Amino acid sequence: MTSRPRYSLRSLRNADIWSFCVLAATFAADTAVLMKALEGTLSLSSAVLLHLAVLCAAALAISRVMPDDQTLPVLCFSFAVFSGPVGMVAGMILVAGAWFSGSGARLLERWSDWSNGGGAFDSSMLLAESIDNGRAVRTSRPARRLFPHIMACGSFTEKQWLLGIVAQKYHADYGPALDAALSDTEPGLRVQAAAVRARLNDRIKAEYNDILRTAGGTAAQVSAATALAARTVHCLKSNLLDPSEARRLREAVLRHCQRAAGLHEHSPRLEEQIRWLLWNGGHYEAALFWQRNGENSGSHN
């Protein structure tokens, strides 16, 4: 699998700054060559050769700081070949313009690449873009009140908004807010809470069935078993499963993970998940046994 190129704001901005510096240095060198030629210190042929040498060095330097995009080096090189230092100034203006507008061809190409799934931006790049476009969280705005407070005395619209959040980004801590909405005095809100509950149940049931199917398969690698156990822990922590479903899931995954742990090398992460599942299921002795077992293996290692 090939990994996607990852673009960071710093690397993109640094490339612009370095390009600008290279162009400035080239401008200085080329101006010096021209001055020497005009003073008569350099012959015309030497001046032309030096001019070309400076340009080649500049092109090489720019292509090093912008390895994946040769548009600007070629453009500046063309300017400079025919216009000398004036061409360099034109190149510097181009780079500065792209830097300030945030819409240089290179940056746009990165975005195009990103939107087609060909590259990835790191969080700094995405945050900068959000701030530039006014999409970022406005920390200056007053925060809404806490969820329990909204459920207790918020407006109908606020409560509906909150239930929307619960449906989209459910966390076990939102459970009490959902329960409160189910017994709200406003029928419209109870209906929404019921719809949210049904949606969450569907989602958790799909996850539950998938985990059970996987756990019923052949013994997995440690990494796969750890991932499955992590999904199970997440599922159980949601508090959306019936006690009987929770028990069944926990036991199936425990069998699967214990098998994987027995077949493979010592894995602290998997053992930690097993301990959690055992403890959560009320098998305290077994959980402590795994804890001691893990400590012993750790000390031997």
Partner 1 sequence: MLTQTDTHFATDARGTEADVCLIVEGCYPFVSGGVSTWLDWLMRTQPSLTFHVVAIVSDEAPRVSRYAPPSNLISLQRLVLHPPVAKRSRGTAASVAESAELANAMLALLKPSGGFDALSHLIRVIRTDGCTPTLTDLKASETSWDAIVKMYQALMPQASFLHFYWAWQALFGGLFSVLLFPLPRARIYHTISTGYAGLLAARAAAETGRPAILTEHGIYTNERRIEILMAEWIADTVQKGIAADERIDLRDLWTKAFESFARACYEACTDITTLYRDNQRLQLALGAEREKLSVIANGIDPARFGRLPVASHDTPPTLALIGRVVPIKDVKSFISAAALLRRQIPDLCALVLGPLDEDPAYADECSELIRELALEDCVRLLGTVNIVDYMPRIHVVVLSSLSEAQPLALLEAGAAGIPCIATDVGACREIIEGSAEEQPRLGPGGYVTGLVAPSEIAAAAKRLLESEDLRRTMGETLRQRVRRYYDSGQASSNYHLLYERRGARTSGARELEGSQQ
Cβ at position 197, least distance to partner 1 in Å = 7
Question: Could you tell me which stretch among 87-95, 117-125, 129-137, 290-298 binds partner 1 (CB under 8 A)?
Answer: 129-137
DSSP designation for 148:
H
Cβ-based nearer residue to partner 1, 185 or 299: 185
**# residues near partner 1 by CB under 8 A:** 40
CA pair distance 272, 19, nearest whole angstrom: 50
| Site for partner 1 contains 156 (CB under 8 A) | yes
Cβ at position 130, least distance to partner 1 in Å = 6
| Site for partner 1 contains 135 (CB under 8 A) | yes
Q: Which residues of 47-70 are buried (b: 16+ CB within 10 A; e: fewer)?
A: beebbeebbeebbebbbebbeebe
Cβ at position 137, least distance to partner 1 in Å = 4
Structure-token match 């005009």, residue found: 38
Cβ-based nearer residue to partner 1, 121 or 276: 121
Residue 16 neighbours by CB distance under 10 Å: 20
Nearest-Å Rg of the Cα atoms of the chain is: 31
CA distances from 204 to 176, 239, 241, 288 (A): 18, 10, 7, 29
Cβ-based nearer residue to partner 1, 1 or 137: 137
| Site for partner 1 contains 54 (CB under 8 A) | no
Contact pattern for partner 1 over residues 205 through 244, marking x by CB under 8 A: x------------------------------------x-x
Q: Which tokens hold the place of 112? A: 């195009």
| Site for partner 1 contains 199 (CB under 8 A) | yes
Contact 268, 294 (CB under 8 A): yes
Cβ at position 243, least distance to partner 1 in Å = 10
Question: Nearest Cα to 221, choosing from 259, 278, 192, 188?
Answer: 259
DSSP designation for 239:
T
Tell me which residues in 159-198 interact with partner 1 (CB under 8 A).
160-161, 163-165, 167-168, 182-183, 186-188, 190-198
Neighbour-count burial of 189, counting CB atoms closer than 10 A to its CB (0-12 exposed, 13-18 middle, 19+ buried): buried
Contact 261, 270 (CB under 8 A): yes
Cβ-based nearer residue to partner 1, 160 or 291: 160
Q: Which of 143, 218, 265, 301 binds partner 1 (CB under 8 A)?
A: 143
Cβ at position 27, least distance to partner 1 in Å = 39
Contact 231, 206 (CB under 8 A): no
Cβ at position 86, least distance to partner 1 in Å = 39
Contacting positions for partner 1 (CB under 8 A):
130, 133-139, 141-144, 156, 160-161, 163-165, 167-168, 182-183, 186-188, 190-199, 201-202, 205, 242, 244
